[in-house]
Amino acid sequence: MAEPVRVDAVVVGSGPGGYVAGIRLGQLGVKTLVVERDRAGGVCLNVGCIPSKALIHAAKTFDKLKHAGELGISVGAPTIDWAATLRWKDGVVGKLTSGVRQLLKANGADFLVGEATFVSPREIHVRATDGKETRVEAKSVVVAVGSRPVEIPGFAYDHVRVLDSTDALALARIPARLVVVGGGYIGLELGTVYAKLGSKVTVVEMLPSLLAGMDPECVAVVQRKLKKLGVEVLLETRVVGWDEIDRPAERLPVGAHLEGDRKDGPAAVRVTLRDGQAAQLDADVILVTVGRRPNTDRAGLDRIGVKLDAKGFIVVDKQQRTSVPGVYAIGDCAEGWMLAHKASREAEVAAEAIAGRKAEMDVRAMPAVVFTDPELAAVGLSEEQARAAGRKVRVGKFPFAALGRALSVADTDGFAKVVADADTEEVLGVHIVGNGASDLISEAALALEMGAFLHDLSLTVHPHPTLPEALMEAAKAALGEAIHIVNR
């Protein structure tokens, strides 16, 4: 092997954590190499956040066209060229991933494609696809190896009938029947896409509710919309296994490219219902979305002895330092929420710590978004969490049905809810379900980060007619001062 490449810092992985770390390190004058086993941008940009949101937008547009007559607009029966939709989605991904490479280069960080393996806390071997090996020595290492879908017994991914989330973003055909195993955000987002495109979708969830951990009132709004879309939800139901059915798979007449024979037939998914009865669900494909696991069993991390928690996540401190000096961890492989924006902030902290600056993860509240229809977003404490923490709680809600902007765009499902301390009026949490919730939650995150009180929101003049008025009105409702609803 040739002489080693020597750098100040090496970043293993180029997802929303890894590439941000590389850029920030470059900005700070730290000689940095980013190593990526696959494509720049990692899971999020290539087969996660970005392509899924592109398909969600396409499906939402298709669904809105079907209901355009309600607005007096006649467009006929819309059709979809699925192959063209996938090409558009891939184009969006391509623009962003190429941008990552350009940003790294512009900020002085080098990029190397290959499989990284730790030899020691300061030495990494990188094997390229052509077999060429590169030895890298670094003073500091940032582990950003990400995560992958969890596999469950009896449902090994064959990527034909049993799919993971990556497969679901590139199906050659829109399935007539889709069984989604897991009622979390990934399953519901993708299940909603295919339901809008005409698939008969069934969601199987072993817990008593969908979207565990989110505000139950918000989840109820999403569940009602799923029912309206024809999605069947089976709660407290366990999947047992699946069998092939000896007949052709069904398909939807949504484009000529879907015609033709299929050699792979449908499947029968065996489940145990909440009452203990056995049942069978027919499916052309089965999408398993029961969570993700950190990739800490890869890249030879065991050789350098970083401490892991009981679930396999790397234990870090507020500067993202691991138990091994000089080694940092960020993103899905590190403790905490598996969120792209969490990874990016951790990346900045780790980079600044490596550069000798004073920085730490001091985020008061991490926002989370579910891109279902309607969208669901939250930051801070729920009512239950606040009460469990010993707080007296005051809650204000404002329905989108009373919001001028929501009415004018014919999208009135949902509400904004503000949770505050009843004694101090400090805002403890905000929960939004409805059109644009993913955009509205940022104002709420800023409010919590700044330690806002109800009057800070209620007395801030919001432009009219806009969706963010819902936050102002919810804060007023918590104070008994709501203008556009009856105060109770």
Q: What residues contact residue 256 under an 8 Å CB cut-off, 6+ apart?
A: none
Buried b (16+ CB within 10 A) or exposed e, 169-195: bebebbbbbbbbbbbbbbbbbbbbbbb
Whether 464 is a known active-site residue: answer yes
Average pLDDT, the chain: 94
Q: What is the pLDDT of residues 26-79, one digit of tens each?
A: 999 999 999 999 999 999 999 999 999 999 999 999 999 999 999 999 988 899
Q: List the domains of the chain with CATH numbers.
A: 5-149+293-354 (3.50.50.60), 162-288 (3.50.50.60), 368-478 (3.30.390.30)
Residues forming a β-bridge with 285: 178
pLDDT on residue 245 = 83
Cβ atoms of 126 and 112 closer than 8 Å: yes
Predicted TM-score (pTM) of the model is 0.94
Query: Residue 173 and residue 177: Cα distance in Å, rounded?
Result: 11
Cβ atoms of 374 and 403 closer than 8 Å: no
Q: What is the pLDDT of residues 66-119, one digit of tens each?
A: 999 999 999 888 999 999 999 999 999 999 999 999 999 999 999 999 999 999
Reported as a pLDDT band with limits 50, 70 and 90, residue 259 is very low
| Two tokens, residue 203 | 């969601």
Give 408-464 as a DSSP string: HTT---EEEEEEEETTT-BEEEEEEEETTHHHHHHHHHHHHHTT-BHHHHHTS---S
Q: What is the pLDDT of residues 311-337, one digit of tens each?
A: 999 999 999 999 999 999 999 999 999
Element containing residue 269 per DSSP (H, E): strand 267-272
Q: What is the pLDDT of residues 423-447, one digit of tens each?
A: 999 999 999 999 999 999 999 999 9
Catalytic member of 67, 159, 257, 464: 464
